[in-house]
Structure 1
Amino acid sequence: MDAEHEDRPRVVAVSRDSDHRFSKPVVQELTLVEGWGVEGDAHAGTTVQHRSRVARDPSQPNLRQVHLIHAELFDEVAEAGFAVAPGELGENVTTRGIDLLGLPTGALLHLGDDACVRVTGLRNPCQQINGFEPGLLREVLGKADDGVVERKGGVMSVVVSGGVVRQGDQVRVELPEGEQTPLEPV
């Protein structure tokens, strides 16, 4: 990527796994399917696919079809001594140059030429993160100075329009009209 485009919001990596494992292997490209999620990924579907949510109520709508994490989180946890690479925290799309956590509910992320996802909420980091790397959970789930819980494990979304997403694709943000609603865990 040339220096002129290096600071633009972009996709750093894409990952998927057909099985329910914590980490997802990086792949060359993802195909997003409208209303479904990532083709070939264990979390794709119109209803919840996350094991604990299926156990509670399998008829809930799947608001977690595509998981996105900002690569800046990897930089941040590296300062605390943790080495994390794309896909290792279970995300499908790793981005750089966009404040995912600062987006409002309903923001649209245009990924590459055709794909678009609508942000539904924050990922709620769980104890499995410590299973991946002991102590990492405290780096992605903490408290701000005012005591508010900070969830840094990325955002969840649903596919609004399908398409292929690859490393290097640009990301364009479209904010919802009207009053902006801060992200909550989904």
Structure 2
Amino acid sequence: MGVVEAVCISEKKGMVKKEVPEILLEENWGITGDAHAGIWHRQVSLLAGESIDAVKKKMPHLKHGVFAENIVCRDLDLMALAIGDRLVIDGQVVLEVTQIGKECHNAGCAIKKATGDCIMPKEGIFTKVIHGGVVKAGLAIEIERITQRQHG
């Protein structure tokens, strides 16, 4: 089980998000007041705090939201997720994984220029809201696998 480390929103797409005390997730809509809310498959984005830490080694001044992530998680293996898996926050909010990774808004973004890499294209997790509620730092988050995958 992991923990929500931070929550962030932005009023316009393509902008750095700002950390806020809490967010309200609405079923099949996304985050109230966030530019990415709407009826589509990328309502809420997540990144692992550990991934952000790796970039902070090169750029220690980075703040939560700089990669346009809505929710920063810690102690949760987001890279093990598959499309259709769900994330359950505080036992009530349910997010379903709809996409893993994405294209950067532009090839020469400031983060990529400064660090040589941008983590959202490879490590960003995108979800839609199945069951809404309030999310804030410190809440538990866990993975709920929808399908069993065969190993071998």
Provide the residue aligned with 1:92 in structure 2.
Answer: 70
Identity across the alignment (%): 30
Summarize the alignment of residues 28-177 of structure 1 with structure 2, pairs less than 5 Å apart. 28-46=21-39, 62-79=40-57, 81-83=58-60, 84-126=62-104, 128=106, 130-133=108-111, 134-136=113-115, 138-140=117-119, 151-152=122-123, 154-177=124-147
Deviations 1:55-100 (A, max 9, x none): xxxxxxx110000010111121233x12332111101100001111
**1:116-147 deviation line (CA, Å, top 9, x unaligned):** 10011212141547433324453538xxxxxx
* TM-score calculated relative to the size of structure 2: 0.86
Structure 2: gaps of 5 or more residues: none
More relative contact order in 1 or in 2 (CA 8 Å, sep 6+)?
2
Relative to its length, the structure with more strand (as a share) is 2
The answer to whether residue 18 in structure 2 is matched with residue 25 in structure 1 is: yes
| Counterparts of 1:162 and 1:21, CA distance in 2 | 24
CA-CA distance at 1:113 after TM superposition = 4.1
Q: What secondary structure is seen at the aligned counterpart in 2 of 1:31?
A: strand
Uncovered stretches (5+) of structure 1, i.e. residues with no partner: 1-7, 47-61, 142-149, 181-186
Three-state SS of the structure 1 residue aligned to 2:117 is helix
Contact preservation (8 Å) 1:22, 1:128? no
- Cα distance in 1 for partners of 2:77, 2:23 equals 22
TM-score, with length taken from structure 1 = 0.72
1:126-177 Cα distance to aligned partner (Å, 9 max, x none): 1547433324453538xxxxxxxx812x100000000000000000110112
Shift of the 137–42 alpha-carbon distance from structure 1 to 2, 3 Å rule, reads farther
Give the RMSD, CA atoms, in angstroms.
2.1
Greater gyration radius: 1
- Is the CA contact 1:114–1:164 (under 8 Å) kept in the aligned structure 2? no
Give yes or no for the alignment of 1:12 onto 2:12: no
In structure 2, the CA distance between the partners of 1:110 and 1:129, relative to structure 1 (3 Å rule), is farther
What is the one-letter code of the residue matched to 2:135? V
